[in-house]
Structure 1
Amino acid sequence: MTKLSVNINKIATLRNARGGDIPNVVKCALDIEKFGAEGITVHPRPDERHIRYQDAKDLKPVLKTEFNIEGNPVTKFVNLVLEIKPAQVTLVPDAEDAITSNAGWDTIRYKEYLQEVISEFKKYGIRTSIFVDPDEKMIQGAAETGTDRIELYTESFAEKFAAGKKEEAVAPYAKCAKIAHDLGLGINAGHDLSLDNIEFFKNEVNFVDEVSIGHALIAEALYLGLEETIARYLKKLQ
């Protein structure tokens, strides 16, 4: 079964918009776990415009499910991960001023850099995953970095799915997941997955260990509530 990890960045965005501590990020994360999610994801950026580094530190001692921290492995981020030692770290090549992640790693160009960062995390027993586009060469390059998993960047799938091009949308992901699996890599997926498209993606793409969903899930929860939204995702992922 594919696990659901909920990215809670948007909850932090709502809190930060008003100041204070409403909604409380830790309480929301614990409720999300209680509602059945199998993991919590955060993506702190250097400017801390949504999740703050302190949020990650506050979450680690209380979470009962897998904790996944995403980010570009700049020095500040690496130090945070080594301090907290989450179950998983997902390396994402996002620029500081990026609104959201918008590309996977060039695993060939940055192979030595990724090898160095990944080996440091693995010394401490932290599972590593790297964000990649559905490109066969990038998947093969990822296998040479020493990473445990890849996370398939699914924005292009979501865009083509919404345009009615379902088969075209999913084909490169199914192919790359098979390649990754054959290379011994675990497979995660995330970005713009939603209640509309997640079931089709799960049925067509084999070997997916985990999906990380934030923006769509929180937006859907405005109408359905967090508990009901999570229940619907879990049903579609079974």
Structure 2
Amino acid sequence: MPRLGVNVDHVATVRQARGTVEPDPVTAAALAELAGAGGITVHLREDRRHIQDRDVDVLRQTVRTRLNLEMAATEEMVAIALRTRPDCVTLVPERRAELTTEGGLDVVGQRGLLENPVRRLREAGIFVSLFVDPDLAQVETAQELGADAIEIHTGTYCDAKNTQTRQSELVKIEQAVRLGQQLGLIVHAGHGLNYQNVRPVVALGGIEEFNIGHSIISRAVLVGMDQAVREMLALIEGR
């Protein structure tokens, strides 16, 4: 059964908008776990626009399922990961001006920059995933770098404006999933997935973890975290 990783970044976004202590992403993470989430994801960005270092420290102490730390492959972030020891590190691209992560890592073009962070994290016993577009060359290079997993960027599929484009992107995702499996990689997926578009990706099979944040947090604002997580779990589990 696929696992649901709930990204609580945007709970912190609301908190940071007022520079106060609420709402608390640590509390949100606990509620998500109680509702059945199989993991918690946070992205510690260079500009600290939402999740803060203290959040990561406290989550490491309180998360009872699986803590996935999304981060850029920088020396600062590697040092933080080596200190906090999350269950998984997902290396992602990062640009200061972007509203959210806009695409996968260029693993092929940045192989030389990624080799050292991947090696150091894995030597420390940390499970390493690389966030990549559904491109076969990127998947192959991720495996060559020694990553444990890939997370397939589903944003282009989610943003498709018509059925033909959506189906074309779905085929690319499926091909990336199958190649990842053949190469011995664990396959995750995420970005832009919501209650309306997740089912076709689930139906592909072979994806062990779905990391979903904005849609769940948006729904939770209206119906509460428990119901929002349970509704998404039902879709992922085919209920």
Task: Please give the TM-score of this superposition, normalised by the length of structure 2.
Answer: 0.95
Single out whichever of 167-176 and 60-69 deviates more from structure 2: 167-176
The residue that corresponds to 1:37 in the other structure is: 37
The residue that corresponds to 1:116 in the other structure is: 116
Displacement after TM superposition at 1:215 (Å)? 0.8
1:139-154 to structure 2, matched below 5 A, reads 139-154=139-154
Displacement after TM superposition at 1:222 (Å)? 2.4
The residue that corresponds to 2:234 in the other structure is: 235
SS of match in other structure, 1:152: strand
Structure 2: runs of 5+ lacking an equivalent: none
Answering whether residue 217 of structure 2 is matched by residue 222 of structure 1, we say no
* Cα distance in 2 between the residues matched to 1:188 and 1:175: 14
Instruction: Indicate if the aligned counterparts of 2:73 and 2:114 stay in contact, CA closer than 8 A.
Output: no
Instruction: Indicate if the aligned counterparts of 2:2 and 2:207 stay in contact, CA closer than 8 A.
Output: yes
The residue that corresponds to 2:5 in the other structure is: 5
Displacement after TM superposition at 1:163 (Å)? 3.0
Instruction: Indicate if the aligned counterparts of 2:28 and 2:225 stay in contact, CA closer than 8 A.
Output: no
* Cα distance in 1 between the residues matched to 2:46 and 2:112: 23
1:68-147 to structure 2, matched below 5 A, reads 68-147=68-147
SS of match in other structure, 2:181: helix
SS of match in other structure, 2:109: coil
* Cα distance in 1 between the residues matched to 2:20 and 2:154: 34
Displacement after TM superposition at 1:143 (Å)? 1.0
Which residue type is aligned with residue 236 of structure 2? Answer: L
Instruction: Indicate if the aligned counterparts of 1:10 and 1:215 stay in contact, CA closer than 8 A.
Output: yes
The residue that corresponds to 2:180 in the other structure is: 180
Displacement after TM superposition at 1:223 (Å)? 2.7
Single out whichever of 119-128 and 20-29 deviates more from structure 2: 20-29
Displacement after TM superposition at 1:126 (Å)? 0.5
Displacement after TM superposition at 1:197 (Å)? 0.9
* Cα distance in 1 between the residues matched to 2:117 and 2:171: 31
Which residue type is aligned with residue 212 of structure 1? Answer: N
SS of match in other structure, 1:128: strand
* Cα distance in 2 between the residues matched to 1:197 and 1:189: 13
Instruction: Indicate if the aligned counterparts of 1:104 and 1:153 stay in contact, CA closer than 8 A.
Output: yes
SS of match in other structure, 2:6: strand
**Identical counterparts, % of pairs:** 31
Displacement after TM superposition at 1:141 (Å)? 1.2
* Cα distance in 2 between the residues matched to 1:78 and 1:98: 22
Answering whether residue 199 of structure 2 is matched by residue 199 of structure 1, we say yes
CA displacement, residues 120-162 of structure 1 (integer Å, 9 cap, x when unaligned) = 00111100000101111111111111000001011111022x6
Aligned residues: 236
* Cα distance in 2 between the residues matched to 1:128 and 1:7: 17
CA displacement, residues 78-119 of structure 1 (integer Å, 9 cap, x when unaligned) = 111001101100000112332211121222222232221111
SS of match in other structure, 1:20: coil
Task: Please give the TM-score of this superposition, normalised by the length of structure 1.
Answer: 0.95
Instruction: Indicate if the aligned counterparts of 2:177 and 2:206 stay in contact, CA closer than 8 A.
Output: yes
- After superposition, the CA RMSD in angstroms is 1.2
Answering whether residue 66 of structure 2 is matched by residue 66 of structure 1, we say yes
Instruction: Indicate if the aligned counterparts of 2:103 and 2:155 stay in contact, CA closer than 8 A.
Output: no
